[in-house]
Structure 1
C-alpha cells in the first residue's frame, strides 16, 4: 500500500470515527439560543442530547450484525443517508419534540460510521499496524471535542443555531462522497450470516456471562458516565451559572478536553510499567475522591469558575486513564465473539452515559451540583462493581500490551 493511499484511508476512517462526537459537541454552545428559539429552557434542550446518546446505544448493537451480513459499505451508505436526512430535519426543527426525535435518528445514522470504521481498520490494514492506526484514529477522535464546540460557538455567535446542523449536513455529504469513491469494500457479504434474533441474542448472552467482561465493562461504563455528566451539563454550568460567553465556553470545553485526551495518552506511557488492572484501581479510587470533594464543595458553594474547572479536569483525567484499561480488560477474554463483545461494550457505555445525562436534567439546581452529584454517584457505583465483580473472576486474562492504547 502506498503512503498516499495509507493516509487517505486513515483520513476517511478518521472522519467517520469523528462524526458522532462532532454531532454531540458542536451544538453545545448554542443551547441557550435553541432554548430561546423553541420557547423552552436549556434543561429541556439537554433532552435532545440524551436522545442522541440513546440512539447511539441502540445503533451500536444494530450495525454489528448488519456489517457482517451485508459487507461494510451498504450499511454505511444507509447510516450516512439516515444521518443526512435527520440533520436536514434538525435544521428545520420548529419544536423541541421534533428536535429530540430527529437527534435520535441522527445518532442511529452516525453509529454506522463509528462501527464500520473500527471494523474496516481490521479489514484494510495488516494486524501489526492495527494499534498504530487506532492511535491515529484516536488522535482525530480526540481533536473533535476540542474543535467542535469552538467552531459551534463561533457559528452560533455569527449566524444562528440552525446553521450548525447545516454544517453537519455538508460534512456528512462530503464523507459519503469520499466513502463512495475512495473507500474500498473491505469485507464480502456473508449470506449465511443469520440475522435472526435468537443466534444474535445468544452471542450477546454468551459474552455477558463472562465475569471478567461483566465486571470491567460495567465499571468502565459507569466511570465513563462522568464524562457524559460533564458534556450534558457544561453548557448550563458555564453559560448560565458562570455567565461565560458562547465563544468563551468553546475555549473552556477545549481546555477540559485536554484533561481527557492528555491522560489517555499518558496511559500509553504508564502501560509500559503497570498492568491495566493496577491503573483501573488507582484511577477509580482517585475519581471517587475528587468527585466527592467536588460534590461537597458544590453543596457548600466553595468553588468559583476556576475551582470548578480544576475539579472537572481531575475527574476527566481519571476517566481518560480508567476507561481504555477497562475496555482492554473487558475484551481480553474473547477471540471468538469479539465483535459481539465490542458492540456490547459500546452499548453499555452509551446506555449508562445516557442515564447520567438524563439524571442531570432531573436534579433541579442552578449550580454545578447536578454535574458533581452524578459524577460522584457514577464513580462510586463503578468502584463498587469493580470490588464486587473481581471476586467472581476465577481465571483472569491480561489485556494485551497495546490493547488499552487502542480501546478508547
Structure 2
C-alpha cells in the first residue's frame, strides 16, 4: 500500500490500469508523487530501466537514448523553475483578475501534508480522506487513534477549517479490517454511509473522535455517498448518539462548526432542495458524480471516454447543486479532481463556485489560474456550457473566455 510505503524511495508511479480519478491517482496527488495511470504497455517496462515520467503532461518515456538524456534533464530543470515561480503565489490570497475572492482549500490523506498546506496559505482543509486510516490493517482504528490524528490536525491548522469526511470505504478502496464480502460491482454496492449505518462499531468511534477533536479547532464533519434522506437522517442520528454517549461519560467534546454531506450521487443532487433542510453545507464530489451520471466505472480505462466532467450532463448536475445551495443558504464547494484541472476550474468559476479544494500540490497552480480569470467574462459562458451538445463544445466556449496566457497544464 502506498500510504504505508517508504515515500522517500518513490520518485513516481506508472500503472497500466486505472484513470485520473482512481484511488491510486488521488492518493499519489495528495502525497505530491507524480503518477501516470492507465498507461498501456506499463507492465513491459523492465526492472531497473531508466524512465522519464512527466506527470504535468501525462507522458512516460522508456528505452531512453543516451543522446537525449540532456534534453530530459533540461525539461526537468524547466519544471523546477516553473515550480519556483509558483511560490510567488504562496502568501497570496486566491483572487481573480477582476478582484473576486475564491477560497482554495486542500484535500489531504494524512496530517503529514499540513505543513505544505500552511506554507501555501490554503484556506483550510476541504477534505480529509479518513478511509486511509482503515486500509492496510487487520483491526479497526480505535477511537483514541483517530482522536489523536484529528486533534493534531485541528491544532496544526490554528483555527482554519478542517473538513473531516467519515469513512468512505468501498468502490476501489478495500479494507481488510471491515471484513467486507467481495462484490461484483463495488462502486454500486456496499460502501461509505451504507456501511456506517449498519456498523455502529465503525461509525460511533469515528464520530466520537471527531467530536472530541472539535475542542481543538474548527471542524466540519461531512457524510459521503448520501443518496436519500433516510441515509442523511441516519448519520445525523448517529452523530447525536455519539454526543449523548460522550455527555453520559463526562468526556469533553466540541460542537462541530458545520455538518454537511457530499453531493456525488445524482439522486442527492436532484433532491438537494429537500436534503438541504437537514444539512449546513454541501461539497460536490466530481469524481463519483461524473461516474454515476455516466453509469461508467471510473477505474475502467476502456470506458474512460465516459469520464469527462466537462460534459454538459455533469455540468448541469454541478450547476443545480450550486444554485440550490445558494437558494437554501448553505455553503457549497467542490472537492473532486475537477478543481485541479485547468479547464475544469474555469468551468466551475463560470458556474458560480466560490470555494474549491485541491491536492496540496495543486494549491499554488490553482491560485495562479484564478489570478488570470475574469469572472464577468466566464460567467457569461455558464449558460452556453450547460446548453452545449458535448464536452468539445464546452471546451470551445471556455477557451474563448480565457486569456491567451492561461496555461492548460
TM-score, normalised relative to structure 1: 0.28
Instruction: Please identify which structure carries the higher strand content.
Output: 2
Higher relative contact order by CA 8 Å / sep ≥ 6: 1 or 2?
Answer: 1
